[in-house]
Amino acid sequence: MLKSQAQQSFAGALPEPSYERPTEEVVDSMRRHLLEHGRRMRLRRDAAWPGNMAKEPLVTPEPANAARAARYHCSLCPPGFQIKYVGDPLRGAERRAFLRLYDRQLNALLRGVPAERHDGVIDAYDRGALMPAVLDAGLARRRQQTKRDPRPAAQRRRAGAQRWMLKRYAETGHVGQTQEELEELLRDDVNARFEILGENKPRALETLKGDWGKIPNELRDAAKAKSEARPDRERNAERAAHRRRKLTP
């Protein structure tokens, strides 16, 4: 009695064999493959599965499961090339659990994703739709970042102001003073506006502050290093002269 119960328990732990006829997708694949060997397939004669015990099978199909797609073994192919896969694995909860257990790339992608969205992300990843979507989004962001300024005149004005401020900052070492000097110069000197901006337009102090913020850090750091290399007396003289100009009515 105990032996019979153990046998039943062991049998229940094994995967159930498939007695059903292979799917049309698998049958069609096997038929086309055997034609490559010059053999016209008769399913009941040439294919063996638990529901059809062929005497000398050429192909042996196996149904899909959560770990892999459907496949068949071809006895006519050389070793190493005998297994052929067809279609997709069975998707669902078991497939998701399998991928979570064995796919490191998927687990890296799931980091930071809310748990309630895991199923959708895993299914998209398994269908091959997730990575192209991520790539497309990344390229779209890149195109947006590198998109040319549709206003070349505005870009030219900004670049001119930035060049002037970097050169002057290398002398003064004071950002606010540099921006105020340029705002005053552009406001009062027509020739300076053409020379620096390329057109007869002033530039507001807040706009100049925005221009400064768009200068790469390495350029600002280089200008600051030049300023700090100047003798203190020269920098102090520059600041004193700037204060006197501000106090002059």
Alpha carbons 211 and 224: distance in angstroms, whole number: 17
- Give pLDDT tens digits for 20-42: 899 999 999 999 999 999 999 99
Q: Span 35-60, mean pLDDT?
A: 93
What is the pLDDT, as a whole number, of residue 15? 53
Residue appearing with tokens 């890149």:
142
3-state helix vs strand vs coil in the chain, percent to 5: 65, 5, 30
Confidence of residue 122 (pLDDT cuts 50, 70, 90): confident
Average pLDDT over residues 10-29: 73
DSSP assignment of 223-244: HHHHHHHS-HHHHHHHHHHHHH
Name residue 52's beta-bridge partners.
Answer: 49
Identify the DSSP state of 37: T
Q: Distance between CA atoms of 156 and 42, rounded to whole angstroms? A: 76
Which helix (H) or strand (E) covers residue 85, if one does?
strand 83-86
User: Beta 83-86 vs 59-62: how paired, if at all?
Assistant: unpaired
What DSSP line would sit under 203-218, residue for residue? --HHHHHHHHHTS-HH
> Residue 168 corresponds to which tokens in the numbers above?
């002057």
This prediction has a pTM of 0.45
**91-100 tens-digit pLDDT:** 999 999 999 9
Instruction: Label residue 129 by pLDDT band (50, 70, 90).
Output: confident
Other Cβ atoms closer than 10 A to 159:
16
With beta carbons less than 8 A apart as the criterion, state whether 90 and 98 touch: no
Residue 189 pLDDT > 50: yes
- Evaluate if residue 8 carries a pLDDT over 50: no
Between residues 58 and 108, the one the model is more confident about: 58
